[in-house]
Amino acid sequence: MTNTDLINKINKLKKEKNAIVLAHCYQNLEIDEVSDYVGDSLYLSKMAAKTNADIIVFAGVYFMAQSAKLLSPDKKILLPNITSGCLMADMINSKQLDEFKAKNPNIPVVCYINSTAEIKAKCDVCCTSSNAIDVVRNLGVEKVLFVPDTYLGKYVESKLDNVQVITYNGFCPTHLRIRIEDIENARKNYPDALILIHPECQRSVIEISDFVGSTKEIIEFAKSSTNKRFVIATEKGVVDRLNRDSKKENWDKEFILINDKIVCPNMKKNTLYDILNVLENETNEITIDESVFEGARKCIEKMFLLNVR
């Protein structure tokens, strides 16, 4: 079947079943052809909470589909490829979280949305890379524990006066592939470019870049900047979308991926064929254990309460 056939079939089924497709910006570009909303994890979780659709196909990774289920418990949430996990989210389990908390007692725990429902159920509030600074600031405490991403946690600490952020030692293997040499090479090869970087990267690399932001912030900065060339230090999907939109909308801008290994293998697992398959058969449905559901839902809802954006 050609991509056009797949796209037509998916769009027809979406109408018949009152279904929508949510796609993260790290997905393969062709997924956008069948997607109702494309964006970062914060935007997609808001869309999941808002929609009147009966079925949400979540083209992203497992924790994102779980978050959609927590926010839309009455809807059917389908993950096109059930093995699309997040390596960072899998770096902390319930026992490890208990140990981390026991070592640092009586301190509120903030978890990155890149975590399982089991972990969220044991944390006070969650955040995404778009709102992490606001969430921690708005908690109004002097000390927080932050799981699982040590780099995002430390970045948040660097942006706030008088808040100590004690981080768990998780990380994103994809973003950690960005090294100081990559930035140095980019400066040499593209001296006119601005370097835009995600806060999941190492501190030493962040410090020598021009702009730090979440997926959404990087896209917004790139669009509004008067600069013409940008080196993007985050996942390839962001670069693909920026170059596509630049061409389509005549921005006359060029976006270069910092190094060709910055590809999240799990994000790329979902295919158009998988989307058609789950829509047709309503398979790969996300369910969440009752014992963690309420706690995890509260953890996400507190983020919306604390976050001003």
DSSP classification of residue 130? T
Specify the stretch interacting with ligand SF4 by CB under 6 A; choose among 132-140, 172-180, 219-227, 280-288.
172-180
Please state the closest distance from residue 79 (CB atom) to ligand 13P, in A.
15
Q: Return the H-helix or E-strand segment holding 236.
A: helix 236-248
DSSP helix/strand/coil, 77: strand
DSSP classification of residue 257? E
Quick one: which of 81, 116, 214, 246 contacts ligand 13P (CB under 6 A)?
214
Quick one: which of 72, 81, 215, 284 contacts ligand 13P (CB under 6 A)?
215
Question: CA dihedral defined by 100, 129, 60, 2, rounded to 10 degrees?
Answer: -150
Specify the stretch interacting with ligand SF4 by CB under 6 A; choose among 7-15, 84-92, 115-123, 201-209.
84-92
Question: CA dihedral defined by 219, 225, 229, 235, rounded to 10 degrees?
Answer: -20
Token pair recorded at residue 94: 């319930």
| Residue 139 touching ligand SF4 (CB under 6 A) | no
| Residue 307 touching ligand 13P (CB under 6 A) | no
Number of residues that bind ligand 13P (CB under 6 A): 10
Please state the closest distance from residue 258 (CB atom) to ligand SF4, in A.
14
**Other Cβ atoms within 10 Å of 87 Cβ, number:** 16
DSSP helix/strand/coil, 22: strand
DSSP classification of residue 271? -
Q: 120 phi and psi, to 5 degrees? A: -55, -40
Query: Mask 155-184, x = binds ligand 13P (CB under 6 A)?
Result: -----------------x------------
DSSP string, 140-187: T-SEEEEESBHHHHHHHHHHSTT-EEEE-SB--TTGGG--HHHHHHHH
Cα distance between residue 300 and residue 13, in whole Å: 31
Specify the stretch interacting with ligand 13P by CB under 6 A; choose among 122-130, 189-197, 225-233, 296-304.
122-130
| Residue 147 touching ligand SF4 (CB under 6 A) | no
Please state the closest distance from residue 174 (CB atom) to ligand 13P, in A.
7
- Specify the residue, 114 or 284, whose C-beta has the smaller distance to ligand 13P: 114
Please state the closest distance from residue 61 (CB atom) to ligand 13P, in A.
7
What is the chain's length?
A: 309
- Specify the residue, 40 or 118, whose C-beta has the smaller distance to ligand 13P: 40
| Residue 86 touching ligand SF4 (CB under 6 A) | yes
The contact set with ligand SF4 (CB under 6 A) reads 61, 86-88, 114, 172, 174-175, 235, 264, 266-267
The contact set with ligand 13P (CB under 6 A) reads 40-41, 114, 128-130, 172, 200, 214-215
